[in-house]
Amino acid sequence: MKKFEVAVIGGGPGGYTAGIRLQQYGINAVVFEKARLGGVCLNWGCIPTKALVKIADLYQEVKDREQSGVFISDTKVDFQATMNYKDEVVEKLVSGIEYLYKRREIPLIEEEVIEIKSESDGYIIITSESEYKCDYIILATGSKPKEIGNLKFDGQQVLSSRDILSLSELPESLAVIGGGVIGCEFASIYQQLGVKVSIIEFLPNLVSMEDNEISKRLQIMMKKRKIKIYTKTNVNEIEKQDDKVILHLSTGKTMEAEKVLMSIGREPVCEIKFNGFELIKDRGFVTVDPELRTNNRRIFAIGDLTGKLMLAHTASKQAMLVAEVLNRELRGEGEGAFSINYSDIPRCTFTSPCIGSVGLTEYQAKEKYGEIETGKFMFSANGKAIASGNTEGFVKVIIEKKTGLIRGMHIIGPEAVEMIAQGSIMINLSADINKLKSLVFAHPTLSEAIGEALEDSENLAIHKM
């Protein structure tokens, strides 16, 4: 029976990162992945959807270029070619991770883990084909799209976020159930590609975890693009017919669509049998301490399984933390690993316009710190945005009045998902408004809007009345 110091179960962004970092530390580790490395993110989530976002944005930009004197006739989308491009992007990245594993000689077991058995001196990992022994375990088994009640996926008319990435042709119409990040991203992509799109969301706002001003602006922009939005609305029943789906809404109305995307959230996945021990869970998520240890000290959990912040980069950072904790423990160095503040992890939504946010919303900051100052600057007054013909949205900063510390930054508009890294750095380095006065933002850039928003928190923005 092969013996390893650490067994990583799951090869997604958390699992494969853990495998690499443990190898960098010289720790004898193995990774179990029943499909391919990269998990949902690389194979069926972040990466393939971003490939589609690029195509959708490009197509929209080409159609909008006439105002700047560029005329391109016979603009069209070959959807099958687009999906082929998406698959090529995925294959390139996944094969790249597999190449890293091969060159680094990291053991990869392409078998499904069925059972973990606890013994006095470690654990036995039982797969569909073999058994392995280890001292520590990192659970990185991820999550899957959620179903509720009588709303079930069929892969043909009622689609999950994974199913919709396998369509062979564009539908004429698409109803999206759920106005969170994933639902809004797909709604934006398919609308830009020419599909008639509707969003049904039971909460008052789309992307409800975002700052209220951001949510409202996204909704305005989506309506401007002819996306029909129904908030405070549930879907009571889905009725399937030969070539369409009838949605019965809680308002008493009905809606027809060729395809339905059900995007009502994700739920943790861990179908492994635990023999000789149990893990404490909350709503299916594995409970962990700040070091990502479960109630069983030698078993860690990372990624979506923890329910902390279900983002790929959260899982990757958690993997690095666990690897550092294990490295220090195995070498007898004791405590001292870095910590993760989940509220300060940046969040990105790849809609049109896109959203980048980090830290607290205005409401959260008021609840936690009392008096705050806010600064806002519109891209419609930014030179680079005007020159590029994309002036939608704004930058908003939230500052604790007592200390001057930046507690939140929220951006909706061009390149928001790239610009938000600046806010992440400011917040994580505990920068206050006085320190940031010496920063010079290059001209002409979109990032100048961040500088002006900071200045606006003191009513000193140059290009704002």
Q: Which H/E stretch holds residue 191?
A: helix 181-192
DSSP string, 317-335: HHHHHHHHHHHHHHTT--S
- The model carries a pTM of 0.94
What does the pLDDT read at residue 66? Answer: 67
One digit per residue, the tens of pLDDT, for the chain of length 465 reads 899 999 999 999 999 999 999 999 999 999 999 999 999 999 999 999 999 999 999 988 888 776 777 777 778 889 999 999 999 999 999 999 999 999 999 999 999 999 999 998 899 999 988 999 999 999 999 999 999 877 889 999 999 999 999 999 999 999 999 999 999 999 999 999 999 999 999 999 999 999 999 999 999 999 999 999 999 999 999 999 888 999 999 999 999 999 999 999 999 999 999 999 999 999 999 999 999 999 999 999 999 999 999 999 999 999 999 999 999 999 988 788 899 999 999 999 999 999 999 999 999 999 999 999 999 999 999 999 999 999 999 999 999 999 999 999 999 999 999 999 999 999 999 999 999 999 999 999 999 999 999 999 999 999 998
**Whose structure tokens read 């929220």?**
410
| pLDDT value of residue 69 | 74
Instruction: Domain 2-144+268-330: give its CATH code.
Output: 3.50.50.60
CA atoms lying within 13 Å on the CB side of residue 275: 13
Within this chain, domains 158-264 and 353-456 share the same CATH topology: no
Closest by Cα among 220, 219, 224 to 207: 219
pLDDT at 242: 85
Domain spanning 158-264: which superfamily?
Answer: FAD/NAD(P)-binding domain (3.50.50.60)
Q: For the chain, give every domain's residue range.
A: 2-144+268-330, 158-264, 353-456
Class of domain 353-456: alpha beta
How far is the C-alpha of 156 from the C-alpha of 374, rounded, in Å?
47
Distances (CA, A) of 409 to 64, 355, 387, 453: 29, 11, 24, 10
As annotated, the active-site residues are 443
CB 441 within 8 A of CB 448: yes
Structure tokens at 86: 């998406």
State both tokens at 362: 């205005």
Asked if 108 and 101 touch (Cβ cutoff 8 Å), the reply is yes
Residue count of the chain = 465
